[in-house]
Amino acid sequence: MVRHLAAVVMAAGLGTRMRSSTPKHMHTLLGRRVVDWVLAAVDGLAPEQVVVVVSPGTEDAYEGVEVAVQREPRGTGDAVAAARPALADGDTSVLVVSGDSPLLTADVLGELVAVHERDRADATVLSFEPERPLPYGRVVRGRDGSLEAIVEDRDATPEQRAIRELNSSIYVFRAAALWPALEAIDADNVQGELYLTDAVGGIVAAGGKGAVYLCEDELAPMGVNTRADLAFAAAVLRDRINEEHMLVGVTIVDPATAWIEADVELEPDVVVHPFSVLRGRTRVAEGAQIGPHVVADDAAIGARAVVGPFCYLRPGTVLEAGAKAGTFVEIKNSRIGERSKVPHLSYIGDADIGEDTNVAAANVTANFGHRPGPKKRTAIGRNVKTGVDNTFVAPVTVADDAWIAPGTVVTDDVPEGALAGFAPRQVNKEGYVHRDRND
């Protein structure tokens, strides 16, 4: 019978090897913090409880989960013990996961829990065999293949260091075996810490059953400890995300240069060209073309819309179906109507543009003398034709079917069907270049 499942995510370490004032669990990868990737994998198992163990002062960084504080950095065993008061009593399996393992998946954790339940184990460790040596604890097995002990790298003998099977620091315990084992461990080791691995050894030494799940994916248990690890994990997650999109009908021309965050939604037949970055909750509808060299952040891109190259869509941008945001265009907090075009070299901010409008080159919407508070908006109607080098000073409205002359600064509303503008006409000063400037 499957026991109730609780999960403990260890996120109290500061990660000094990151050389950062930000704890390693809080660094971002593809739109999520490192620990958020771990929590997403844990949530895939639908545990009855999730407790995140944190260091003092970081309690407010988590929503939707219970938090326990490890008051002093006394090791992994002490971190898990800090979660005990928050966990329900009873015949519970306790999944313990390191919060710095963003490549974990729900499938891997599910297999671990399944092995633990199948073998009716008291302690089960997720192990892996990487191609390159890593300073991780070694998994020592008995003659029958069962778990005998876990020896930390710094405490291992030369013979133990030759073992290729490594500890991932991811476990499942029977709660009734875990808590007494934690109470029995001491800090008699090189680091002077309370090792969770010693609790595993104590359970086995007391006659409890130890099991091992050898994970075939050597990347899944990988921890992030340095900036180099962070970059490596980001590339792996990028490839996973891109593959998922491609398998459901998205064309990504060069997956190695397309960075698409986890919460981005792409519909079938979207094409993403090289060197494009899609962030936040960007939504791209069927048949849209993105890039190359596009950045879209919390933008909504309609069906068959065209974006790029070298276009920046900032938060609040909405491109309706068939709209175009072209080369060297920046749009922020604005709606571009169906089939309307902002082809090149323009900035559109805090604006609403109707259908079938063409915005000529070098157009800018501006808030003159803006004060704190919401910015004023520019409204440009349907079927409007603007001229080259127009500036629209909000609040201002250009009605349907209007035209704007080149070089115009629009400060007053433009009526429907009107032609507005005409900056001062050109003046030629004959002979000016060769004139004696001392006259």
For 92, 113, 124, 297, the CA distances from 2, given in Å and listed in that order, are: 9, 9, 15, 43
Helices and strands, counts by H and E, the chain: 7, 36
Q: Which of 209, 239, 245 is nearest to 120 (CA)?
A: 209
CA distance 168 to 374: 50
Find the radius of gyration of the CA atoms of the chain: 30
Q: Which distant-in-sequence residues (6+ apart) come within 8 Å of 42 by Cβ?
A: 7, 9, 50, 95, 97, 106, 109
Q: Which of 257, 294, 260, 266 is nearest to 280 (CA)?
A: 260
Tokens standing for residue 39? 């929590």
Taking the alpha carbons of 127, 133, 136, 140 in that order, is the dihedral positive or negative?
A: positive
Query: Kindly report the CA angle at 341 between 359 and 353, in degrees rounded to 5?
Result: 70
Cα-Cα-Cα-Cα torsion 91, 97, 99, 102, nearest 10 degrees, comes to -130
φ, ψ of residue 381 in degrees (nearest 5): -75, -165
**Residues noted as catalytic:** 344
Residue with tokens 């293949």: 145
- Residue 313 in contact with residue 329, Cβ under 8 Å? no
